[in-house]
């Protein structure tokens, strides 16, 4: 169920408020363009600046609009274990297929603290949980041994790996096995990630290139088909400038500008994020043109 091109969907705003109509149209845009799953209320969805009502609303709307056609993996992480449990319970209640739970940021828990954070969420819910390991933002890196311990629990099923260390794919596969779902959190390394045993990508680029990202994932996961692998490499080369341009400035400001170029939504972000500079706009626009998206 959890594989392929899974979009970390942006949250559109209008005059500083959640733009529900546009958000719904974005969901249907992905349903029509081959996206394999949606993550509402992730970092790309600006979860740090969504208030509680907005956070649960975007999850609810996503589940409602997807209607079981593709899985919804709700972003429910927090650096407060109590809050993460509450959000995960809500996601389960409204029918999300899984929860994406980031390692607690700023607190810098030990490996034992990480284990008990996830164990507490596991023990209080009955929904599949995907660990989100992103040391560059959370300041903690969950070890392979800790993941292996967590995988013994009833709800922990895999990881979104944004360590940018491809060796981790091999290490986690060797230690934990093939049943542990590994999803990339880095569009630029997703090809090699899949070739090493990954099952897909929770993608930023899929916000503006859903068809290409879907085709790329399908081809890259067909490891024994040389023709499809060649196609995956071709798409990877086509999208690489875009992957890079979307992280010149803090995510999701560049991808919201790219979405605005496609008239999908406004490029409005919330402070402390700001809109991208004129120089970045030119680079994003050029990358979109190279990918034949505009």
**Catalytic choice (132, 199, 257, 281):** 132
* Sign of the CA dihedral running 222, 207, 211, 127: positive
**Catalytic choice (29, 115, 160, 281):** 160
Three-state SS sequence of 137-165: HHCCCCCHHHHHHHHCCCCEEEEEECCCC
Per DSSP bridges, beta strands 17-18 and 13-14 are antiparallel
Has 115 been annotated as catalytic? Answer: no
Has 160 been annotated as catalytic? Answer: yes
Three-state SS sequence of 10-68: CCCEECCEECHHHHHHHHHHHHHCCCCEEECCCCCCCHHHCCHHHHHHHHHHHHHHHCC
Give CA–CA dist 243/255, Å, rounded: 10
Catalytic residues: 132, 160
């Amino acid at each position: 169920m959890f594989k392929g091109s899974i979009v970390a969907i942006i949250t559109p705003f209008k005059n500083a408020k959640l733009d529900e109509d546009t958000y719904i149209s974005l969901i249907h845009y992905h349903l029509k363009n081959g996206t394999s799953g949606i993550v509402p209320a992730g970092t790309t969805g600006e979860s740090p600046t969504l208030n509680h009502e907005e956070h649960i609303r975007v999850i609810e709307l996503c589940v409602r609009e997807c209607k079981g056609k593709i899985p919804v993996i709700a972003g429910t992480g927090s650096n407060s274990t109590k809050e993460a449990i509450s959000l995960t319970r809500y996601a389960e209640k409204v029918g999300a297929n899984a929860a994406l739970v980031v390692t607690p940021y700023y607190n810098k828990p030990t490996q034992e603290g990480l284990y008990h954070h996830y164990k507490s969420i596991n023990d209080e819910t009955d929904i599949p949980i995907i660990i989100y390991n992103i040391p560059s933002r959370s300041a903690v890196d969950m070890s392979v041994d800790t993941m292996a311990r967590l995988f013994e629990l009833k709800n922990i099923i895999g990881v979104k790996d944004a360590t940018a260390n491809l060796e981790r794919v091999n290490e986690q596969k060797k230690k934990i096995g093939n049943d542990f779902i590994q999803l990339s959190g880095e569009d630029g390394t997703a090809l090699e990630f899949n070739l090493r045993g990954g099952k897909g990508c929770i993608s930023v680029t899929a916000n503006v290139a859903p068809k290409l990202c879907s085709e790329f994932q399908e081809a890259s996961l067909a490891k024994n088909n040389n023709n499809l692998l060649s196609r995956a490499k071709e798409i990877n080369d086509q999208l690489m400038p875009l992957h890079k341009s979307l992280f010149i400035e803090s995510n999701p400001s560049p991808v919201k500008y790219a979405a605005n170029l496609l008239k999908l939504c406004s490029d409005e972000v919330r402070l402390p994020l700001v809109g991208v500079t004129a120089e970045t706009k030119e680079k994003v626009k050029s990358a979109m043109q190279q990918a034949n998206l505009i």
